[in-house]
Structure 1
Amino acid sequence: MTSDSYHISDRPLRFILAASLLTLSLGTVHGFSVLIEPLEDLFELGRTATSLFYSLSLVCLTIAVLFSPRLLHRWSPLTNSLITCSIGALGCGIAALADTPIVFAVGYGVLFGSANGLGYALALQLAAQAYPNRRGLTIGTVTALYGLGASFFAICTGLAPNDDKVGGAMVTLSVLLGLVLLVNALLLNRARTTQEATPSEQMGRRTLGLQIRLWIGYLTTCIAGLMVLGHAATILMHAGGTRQDATRVVFLVGATTAAGGLAAGWLNDRVGRRVLMIALPIFSAITLVSMTQVTGQLMILALGMTGAVYGATITIFPSSISRIFGLHGGVIVYGRIMTAWGLAGLVGPALAGMTYDITGSYSPALYIAAVGAIVAIWSINNID
């Protein structure tokens, strides 16, 4: 490290901006539902098979987060940002040129998904260390922008030519990540992070049982949000919405996810995490059941509420884990807990696609997700 290097907390706004650019650009993965029908037409696939592209990206994202502590500890924020953006841009470029489902899966699912995991972990680390005493709000900000990425992707897809929605959207993402790479090269130049107690010292302070309960709670709460993010457009169209309405609802869900993250971050610093961690799955269960009964504008409202709950959830959990286990220990534990998120990403969208193919309805999947939210209440209750 050179003598003129500086710590993140010395210039916090610069690193909040770098983290925000990463999460906004990478969060576009959650706007996938606008590509479902174009991908079905392009590759002649069913709803279940098409959903697997999104599920694969989330699984690769999770694996990358799980192994991210080694990279974040070994290399500087600048190097990790360059790696993230380069892999993501390459993956989107490959997906843009894909002429088979396998090639698209490698580019979008494996490479872009893996870049998401490393970039998301890096962004959380930057946010937590920029303002250590206001972690709820700072983590809420960067995760809110991760949710807003879905809205941004809806705009990118809308600008793509009608005869090549998939290719146009992927090229746009590749260029965007290239721009983020250049900007973050300036923002993160010579930055260094805090080195805390060793992982074994951090982990020895908490029981395995606590981590298991957090894992179960995160899994069962996130299934609903990831299911809706992966199928928002087609859920609305099934409920009577038009294709134009479907694009708008993806933008709306992304915006409410961002709003939920910001609100949860602000509330977490003031009322504490316990109230929020119990309230969120309760609201989720109520909303999911209501979605089986409503159509039109009420369905749009319910989708937006589900997005808000999901945005709040992905803010509260990393913020709480960071407070419980410390900055460095929190990165390691969150990597483990993120495997629950990855499983939710595999199960949620695939379950929705499968039940739709079998029954012609999303209702069975929504009821199952509601039961999962109730399980989350049991799992999270009494976590200190």
Structure 2
Amino acid sequence: MSDLPTSRGISRGALVLTAATVVNLPFGTVYAFSVFLKPMEALLGIGRAEMAIVFSMASISLTIGMLIGPALYRRFAPVPLLLVCGALSASGLLIASAAQGIEHLLLGYGVLFGMGGGVVFIMMQQGLNQTISPMSGLANGYVVSLYPMGAMLGAPVFGWAIEAFGLRATLVGLALTVLTCCAIAAMLWHRARVRMKDPGASAADSEARHWGLFARLFTVFFLAASAGLMVMSQAAGILQAYGAKSLFALGGTTFITGAIAAARIGGGWLIDRFAVPRVACMAHLIALSGSCLLLSWPGPGMAVLSMTLIGCGYGFISGLTAGAIARYWHPNAFGRVAGQLYIAWCIAAISLPVLAGWLYDQTQGYDQAMRIAAGVNLLGALMALSLPAKARSQLQAQPQTQPQPKVEKT
């Protein structure tokens, strides 16, 4: 599991991080799905609600891919599995590029592209934690930041490509990019000789569940993701509701997405230096301050600051969650625990963001959603304090004090 050099002197950790970067950036463009909305609606004559179903299906398939990923990489060699996932996702994008109706989009983009990306994402995290120095929060935070980074880079590229070559050609280009990047990642993994588990670990370590701890971490992550995904999915609409013009809203949305990506790296970096519950509580309080500021002083400028704070709170939690799994569970269990934990992300995507949209339709504003987000983050801050401050290895190293038998006097 140590970060050893390869035969040519390049560290295995550097190779795995490079592979994760190369492959996760194109898959991260799933967060830039909004760029495809108007062109796809015009091309196929479908509505916004149907496009929302496509994105929801991609999110669900991404989560399913994360859940089945550990079973796949335990049974099949990682290099060919990466190639198969790349081919699966690329074929899905090719189906979407030739779509004649919503059923083709659901199968191609919603199922195949999403599921392949989920398997690859969890494989990258598992391989990373088998290769880098133990419990590297910064590396884990960096890997989970790659999806919003991919959206940041992909959105302007997609906008230019759609204008220059058309929607179908753009999706074909993305398919080729995904397939190429998976092939490059497979080559890097082959060179790094990545192992997906430590054969010397005990079965108890590899299969440990710790359901009470899992439930607390799941809740902390879910609460942060609920508020954060509301921002990510509706940032432009929220900014416009508080008086921002279209160009200002677009620039603000791009800035907020970048801040979330940076916060994910920051969350991992922070738990390398501070206890997990302190960082998690701070992250929720940062998000809480954003909602309170906007409710107190509504306006376009304050809305950007507020959305940034809420998004950063979610970003910090995303980064520290990946690092926290490495602290609380054995590396062999990382992929399994992470895949199950990301169910919280899927549930969050269809909870507060949907409720916020419904409340907007009822009130033509986001004040009620902001109040709910504030309550969610306050609860998250309190729950965060219940997480263990010490890592798994520190807890196991503590001597167990045995009660001394009483000596009766005669």
Q: Shorter-chain TM-score: what band?
A: 0.7 to 0.9
Alignment-derived partner of residue 71 in structure 1: 72
Secondary structure, in 3 states, of the residue corresponding to 1:87? helix
Deviation at residue 312 of structure 1 after TM alignment:
1.7
Deviation at residue 289 of structure 1 after TM alignment:
4.2
Aligned partners of 1:379, 1:188: CA distance in 2, in Å? 38
Q: How does 1:170-249 map to 2 (within 5 A)?
A: 170-189=171-190, 191-193=193-195, 194-196=197-199, 197=201, 200-204=204-208, 207-249=210-252
Amino acid at match of 2:260: T
Alignment-derived partner of residue 330 in structure 2: 326
Is the CA contact (8 Å cut-off) linking 2:126 and 2:334 kept in structure 1?
A: no
Moved more, 299-308 or 211-220: 299-308
Q: How does 1:1-384 map to 2 (within 5 A)?
A: 11-38=12-39, 43-46=45-48, 49-133=50-134, 135-162=136-163, 167=168, 169-189=170-190, 191-193=193-195, 194-196=197-199, 197=201, 200-204=204-208, 207-291=210-294, 294-384=298-388
TM-score (norm 2): 0.82
Amino acid at match of 1:336: Q
Is the CA contact (8 Å cut-off) linking 1:220 and 1:376 kept in structure 2?
A: yes
Amino acid at match of 2:298: V
Deviation at residue 218 of structure 1 after TM alignment:
1.4
Q: Decide whether aligned partners of structure 1 residues 301 and 164 sit closer, same or farther in structure 2, where only a CA change above 3 A counts.
A: farther
Q: Name the Cα RMSD after superposition.
A: 2.8
Q: Decide whether aligned partners of structure 1 residues 144 and 50 sit closer, same or farther in structure 2, where only a CA change above 3 A counts.
A: same
Q: Decide whether aligned partners of structure 1 residues 173 and 299 sit closer, same or farther in structure 2, where only a CA change above 3 A counts.
A: farther
Moved more, 360-369 or 62-71: 360-369
Structure 1 unaligned spans of 5+: 1-5
Deviation at residue 147 of structure 1 after TM alignment:
2.1
Secondary structure, in 3 states, of the residue corresponding to 1:382? coil
Q: Decide whether aligned partners of structure 1 residues 328 and 55 sit closer, same or farther in structure 2, where only a CA change above 3 A counts.
A: same
Aligned partners of 2:99, 2:365: CA distance in 1, in Å? 30
Rg: which structure is higher?
Answer: 2
Q: Deviations over 1:258-281 (max 9, x none)?
A: 211222222111113121111111
Q: Deviations over 1:297-320 (max 9, x none)?
A: 332333333332222211111210
Secondary structure, in 3 states, of the residue corresponding to 1:188? helix
Q: Decide whether aligned partners of structure 1 residues 195 and 257 sit closer, same or farther in structure 2, where only a CA change above 3 A counts.
A: same
Aligned partners of 1:183, 1:263: CA distance in 2, in Å? 28
Aligned partners of 2:129, 2:364: CA distance in 1, in Å? 44
Identical columns (%): 27
Alignment-derived partner of residue 396 in structure 2: none
Deviation at residue 49 of structure 1 after TM alignment:
4.8
Q: Decide whether aligned partners of structure 1 residues 112 and 307 sit closer, same or farther in structure 2, where only a CA change above 3 A counts.
A: farther
Deviation at residue 372 of structure 1 after TM alignment:
2.0
Deviation at residue 342 of structure 1 after TM alignment:
1.2
Moved more, 239-248 or 102-111: 239-248
Q: Deviations over 1:318-345 (max 9, x none)?
A: 2101211111112222222111111112
Q: Deviations over 1:329-362 (max 9, x none)?
A: 1222222211111111222443333333443334
Deviation at residue 136 of structure 1 after TM alignment:
0.5
Q: Decide whether aligned partners of structure 1 residues 303 and 108 sit closer, same or farther in structure 2, where only a CA change above 3 A counts.
A: farther
TM-score (norm 1): 0.87
Moved more, 69-78 or 334-343: 69-78
Aligned partners of 1:164, 1:352: CA distance in 2, in Å? 36
Q: Deviations over 1:118-168 (max 9, x none)?
A: 121112123223322352011111112222112112212321334987545
Deviation at residue 18 of structure 1 after TM alignment:
0.1
Aligned partners of 1:165, 1:307: CA distance in 2, in Å? 32
Secondary structure, in 3 states, of the residue corresponding to 1:189? helix
Moved more, 374-383 or 212-221: 374-383
Aligned partners of 2:62, 2:319: CA distance in 1, in Å? 17
Is the CA contact (8 Å cut-off) linking 1:195 and 1:328 kept in structure 2?
A: yes
Amino acid at match of 2:211: L
Is the CA contact (8 Å cut-off) linking 1:33 and 1:233 kept in structure 2?
A: no
Alignment-derived partner of residue 3 in structure 1: none
Aligned partners of 2:79, 2:111: CA distance in 1, in Å? 23
Secondary structure, in 3 states, of the residue corresponding to 2:350? helix
Q: Decide whether aligned partners of structure 1 residues 95 and 285 sit closer, same or farther in structure 2, where only a CA change above 3 A counts.
A: farther
Aligned partners of 1:290, 1:252: CA distance in 2, in Å? 18
Structure 2 unaligned spans of 5+: 1-5, 389-410
Deviation at residue 17 of structure 1 after TM alignment:
0.2
Is the CA contact (8 Å cut-off) linking 1:61 and 1:117 kept in structure 2?
A: yes
Aligned partners of 2:262, 2:113: CA distance in 1, in Å? 25
Aligned partners of 1:94, 1:32: CA distance in 2, in Å? 16
Moved more, 330-339 or 89-98: 89-98
Amino acid at match of 1:346: I
Aligned partners of 1:11, 1:126: CA distance in 2, in Å? 10
Amino acid at match of 1:359: T
Amino acid at match of 2:90: A
Q: Decide whether aligned partners of structure 1 residues 82 and 192 sit closer, same or farther in structure 2, where only a CA change above 3 A counts.
A: same
Moved more, 359-368 or 113-122: 359-368
Q: Decide whether aligned partners of structure 1 residues 234 and 116 sit closer, same or farther in structure 2, where only a CA change above 3 A counts.
A: farther
Is the CA contact (8 Å cut-off) linking 1:33 and 1:232 kept in structure 2?
A: no
